[in-house]
Amino acid sequence: MSRALAKCFRSPSVLLVTSIILLSFTIHWILIKQPLRCSHFQIKYAKPLATLVDNEEKVTEIFNAITRTVPSVYFTNISTTTSAKNSRGIILDLKKQYCVGDSLTVQVTMFDYVGKRKTYGGDFLRARIFSPKVEAGASGRIDDLNNGLYNVHFALFWEGNVKISILLMHPSEGVAALWRARNSGYKNIIFYGQYEYRSKKVQSECGFELDSDEAKCEYGAKEDKDFFYCIKPDNVSCESLISVTSKERSHTYLNTLEKTLFLRSNIGVEIPQTTESVDVMSCNRNSEVKPKCSTGMFQPFPSGYFLNNVWYPVFCNLSTYDPQSHISNCLSGKKIYIMGDSTLLQWTHYIASIMNSLKFFDLHASGSFNTLLLLDTDKNVYIHWKKHGHPLLIAYAFTVKDYSTVNQEIDRLEGGPQTVFVFSLGHHFRPFPITLFINRLLNTRKAIERLFLRSPDTKVIIRTENTREQSVAMDRFSDFYGYIQYQLTKDIFQGLNVGIIDAWDMSIASGAFELHPSASTVKNQINMFLKYIC
């Protein structure tokens, strides 16, 4: 890594004040001999999280810390909000020639629709460099200077003509509106529970919070403070809940003026730049030797880049061979539990497609989003996919008879060197107050800590969520919500010996706007997964 690039990674922008986190930073610092500290989420806790015992206190502390990073701005006229078209990006210290390994900073100055310079930050941006000819791309790290200026840092990882793209996803006024909307309540989505009792079938409303005086059934674990409720149907026992469905409610927490910020034409608008691309030479600099990818490594942002559609992590060496040609050996004798949403279902099908000896075992399940079992009885490979717990946004009835959350499932694991647990939590949480998500992550972290105490050689892999379509209802599914969740995921699991697969970074780098990444991106995620577990 060049000095310039290393400097980017040394930027002191992250101040995670948990002592555990600081400790882990120090460990990795020594391990990889490079202080990799590039992230643009400046969540600063007022009290060190480690000093808070109670989950509720931690949830509040984390919620408040994020709220402090979100602008508290109000507007009465759309013309005073940030306009991408009126804003400008300019390369700082523009050079005649760039070498692979150099860094490059674009400074963005924000203006509103009447051409007035913005004086505060909080805009939600998305930045990447890319070279279509060599199928290359990498994310940019955004530094909000909180005065209407942003420094967007890029590292030049490959040679050739490199284009720069910086999108205004939402103006800061939109970010403020979304944050308030998200945390206003649970009304975005309605759930229905189906009960079957003595040949009687009844349906009733369910949710995390029910606005009703009727008797309720409570589902969930007290020690986790994680509950789901249904209105109790008359003469039917609570244990008779069979399945659940959900749908969007025609309801919004945004007001009429705010809604205009989320018209499709105002989302993901390119910010014009004085220089749209630069030419990068190889300059034959020696690249540093990187350690083999393994769990427990600290990942900077960007954590890697695509070249010829292959993902190269910057903090470890993945590129020695094609890991997927060794998948049979790698998975032989392993028990793999995969728990998450449809993005990990994609993984399961992908693995089945590249390892022909794996067969789906028919579990005779009814309903949608069912548990899957993949077996290779010769090589003793067991792969089990299961949906994560509520919330699940699925219009077709899915069974809750085998219901569990990720943390409950981890607590049931015996673990051991042959056991791998992979999970992903994200998209389905977006339409709900963030406290639900924070609480689930904290419970999951505790369960992983317990697992590592009894069985430290179990492999735990976390796939972060990724970006999605720009055509979705932003008050429920905005990538801004996903971005906060992504950062929280990296933050809360810091310091544990887990492997992170940064699907967010990959989706930005590849310029993807889809909930389900392309086969080529999934292939790269599986590459990393295999590297972590074999």
Ligand X SMILES: *[C@@H]1O[C@H](CO)[C@@H](O)[C@H](O)[C@H]1NC(C)=O
Regarding 256 and contact with ligand X (CB under 6 A), the answer is: no
> Minimum distance between the CB of residue 229 and ligand X, rounded to whole angstroms?
19
Regarding 51 and contact with ligand X (CB under 6 A), the answer is: no
Tokens at residue 298, please? 């600290």
**Contact in structure between 420 and 348 (CB atoms under 8 Å):** no
Angle between helices 172-182 and 479-492 (to 10 degrees): 70
CA–CA separation, 513 and 507 (whole Å): 8
CA–CA separation, 310 and 307 (whole Å): 5
CA–CA separation, 91 and 84 (whole Å): 17
Regarding 255 and contact with ligand X (CB under 6 A), the answer is: no
How far, in Å, are 66, 373, 434, 467 from residue 180 at the CA level? Answer: 12, 41, 11, 21
Site string for ligand X, 60-79 (x = CB under 6 A): -----------------x-x
> Minimum distance between the CB of residue 300 and ligand X, rounded to whole angstroms?
15
For ligand X (CB under 6 A), the number of binding residues is 10
> Binding ligand X by CB under 6 A: which of 54, 93, 234, 239?
234
The residue among 79 and 119 lying less far from ligand X, judged by its C-beta, is: 79
The residue among 77 and 275 lying less far from ligand X, judged by its C-beta, is: 77
What residues have CB less than 8 Å from 153, skipping those under 6 apart?
Answer: 8, 11, 38, 103, 104, 105, 140, 141, 142, 143
Strand residues in 314-448 grouped as ranges (E): 335-340, 359-361, 372-376, 381-387, 398-399, 419-423
> Binding ligand X by CB under 6 A: which of 199, 265, 320, 356?
320
Regarding 353 and contact with ligand X (CB under 6 A), the answer is: no
> Given CA atoms 56, 59, 65, 68 in this order, what sign does their dihedral have?
negative
> Minimum distance between the CB of residue 86 and ligand X, rounded to whole angstroms?
13
Q: Which stretch binds ligand X (CB under 6 A): 264-272, 282-290, 393-401, 485-493?
A: 282-290
Q: Which stretch binds ligand X (CB under 6 A): 142-150, 249-257, 287-295, 373-381?
A: 287-295
Regarding 287 and contact with ligand X (CB under 6 A), the answer is: yes
The per-residue b/e assignment along 439-473, b for 16 or more CB within 10 angstroms, e otherwise, is: bbbbbbbbbbeebbeeeeebbbbbbbbbbbeeeee
Regarding 260 and contact with ligand X (CB under 6 A), the answer is: no
Length of the chain: 534
> Minimum distance between the CB of residue 198 and ligand X, rounded to whole angstroms?
11
- Which of 389, 383, 425, 373 lies closest to 530 in space, CA to CA? 383
Q: Which stretch binds ligand X (CB under 6 A): 148-156, 286-294, 328-336, 462-470?
A: 286-294
Helix H or strand E segment including 246: strand 241-248
Site string for ligand X, 471-510 (x = CB under 6 A): ----------------------------------------
> Binding ligand X by CB under 6 A: which of 12, 53, 133, 235?
235
Give the footprint of ligand X on residues 112-131 (CB under 6 A): 114
Binding site for ligand X (CB under 6 A): 77, 79, 114, 234-235, 287, 289-290, 317, 320
